């Protein structure tokens, strides 16, 4: 689950935070993870997060995996999502871009959505679902904000794992689970959206 066009020129720590954001939902939802890589692995030439069963998990569980990687990476770059930006990202955009806001400055930056929504890219499944919704706007905002709440709840694990992923290029799923458990010890449980429990 990658977005190579958007990644062009991006730093390893951004890519690692993005992939950690994909990996932690697998751990939090009890879906076995094979490995997470910010380098090529086997026949896959680019960063990706690989579950043991590529078809495992419910649709909602996979949608959380997809958005959480994007959110984690953008947060690493100090970019936040406005409601407008979420709607532009997931539903429609007049200029092909979506708005993000500087976390500190509040300054708006428009980023091409094509790097994130396209065949096989991170947010394609969510965009297809939102496009068919009667209340697409409300649905999109809720979906994204609840994914953000999940990412915020596993921030200690992302912070703990990202440096190891940068250093080694890839980590086995078992090590991700172990490091996540250690980092989250004494913290509240990861917060999971209710729709991840739906089939
Ligand atoms: Zn991705």
- Token couple for 41: 């692995």
User: Is residue 116 domain-resident?
Assistant: no
Calculate how far, in angstroms, residue 165's C-alpha sits from the geometric centre of ligand 1.
15
- Res. 157 pLDDT band, cuts 50 70 90: very high
Which has more confidence, 131 or 148? 148
Averaged pLDDT, 42-51: 88
| Centre of ligand 1 from the C-alpha of residue 13, in Å | 14
- Cβ atoms within 10 A of the Cβ of 40, count? 13
Q: Distance, CA 3 to ligand 1 centroid (Å)?
A: 6
Within a domain: residue 166? Answer: yes
Is 27 domain-assigned?
yes
CA 123 to ligand 1 centroid distance, Å: 9
- Domain CATH number, residue 17: 1.20.58.760
Mean pLDDT, to the nearest integer, of 87-97? 94
Q: How far is the CA of 175 from the centre of ligand 1 (A)?
A: 20
The rounded distance, in Å, linking the Cα atoms of 161 and 182 is 10
What is the C-alpha to C-alpha distance for residues 165 and 20, in angstroms, rounded to an integer? 8
Average pLDDT (121-128) is 91
Mean pLDDT, rounded, for 32-36: 97
Is 160 contained in some domain?
yes
Contacts of 41 (CB under 8 A, 6+ apart): 35, 48, 50, 170
Nearest to 70 by CA among 53, 57, 55, 86: 86
Overall number of domains in the chain: 1
Q: What is the mean pLDDT of residues 57-82?
A: 95
Rounded distance from Cα 66 to ligand 1 centre (Å): 6
Q: Which residue has the higher pLDDT, 5 or 173?
A: 173
Distance 15 CA to ligand 1 centre (A): 9
Place 44 in a pLDDT band, splitting at 50, 70 and 90: confident
Inside any domain, residue 163: yes
Radius of gyration of the chain (CA): 16
Least confident of 99-103, 132-136, 189-193: 132-136
pLDDT band at 64 (very low <50, low <70, confident <90, very high): very high
Mean of the pLDDT values across residues 84-109? 93
Q: Give the domain range for residue 26.
A: 4-77+121-197
Query: What value does the mean pLDDT take over residues 140-150?
Result: 97
Say if 86 falls within a structural domain: no
* Cα–Cα distance, 77 to 179 (Å, whole number): 23
Put residue 150 in one of left, alpha, beta given phi > 0 → left and psi -120 to 50 → alpha.
Answer: alpha
- Structural domain contains residue 144: yes
Q: Is the pLDDT of residue 1 over 60?
A: no
Beta-carbon contacts of 171 under 8 Å, excluding residues fewer than 6 positions away, are: 35, 36, 37, 161, 164, 165, 179
Question: What is the number of residues in the chain?
Answer: 199
Q: What is the pLDDT of residue 194?
A: 95
The answer to whether residue 108 sits within a structural domain is no
């Amino acid at each position: 689950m990658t977005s190579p066009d958007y990644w062009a020129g991006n730093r390893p720590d951004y890519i690692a935070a993005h992939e950690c954001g994909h990996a932690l939902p697998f751990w939090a939802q009890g879906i076995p993870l094979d490995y997470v890589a910010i380098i090529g692995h086997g026949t896959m030439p680019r960063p990706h997060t690989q579950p043991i069963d590529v078809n495992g998990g419910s649709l909602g569980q996979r949608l959380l995996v997809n958005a959480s990687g994007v959110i984690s990476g953008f947060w690493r770059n100090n970019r936040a999502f406005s409601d407008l930006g979420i709607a532009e990202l997931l539903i429609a955009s007049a200029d092909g871009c979506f708005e993000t806001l500087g976390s500190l400055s509040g300054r708006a930056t428009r980023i091409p959505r094509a790097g994130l929504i396209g065949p096989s890219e991170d947010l394609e499944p969510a965009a297809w679902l939102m496009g068919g919704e009667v209340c697409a706007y409300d649905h999109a905002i809720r979906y994204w904000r609840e994914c953000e709440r999940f990412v915020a709840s596993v921030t200690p694990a992302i912070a703990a794992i990202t440096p190891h992923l940068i250093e080694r290029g890839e980590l086995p799923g078992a090590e991700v689970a172990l490091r996540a458990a250690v980092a989250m010890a004494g913290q509240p449980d990861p917060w999971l959206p209710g729709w991840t429990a739906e089939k």
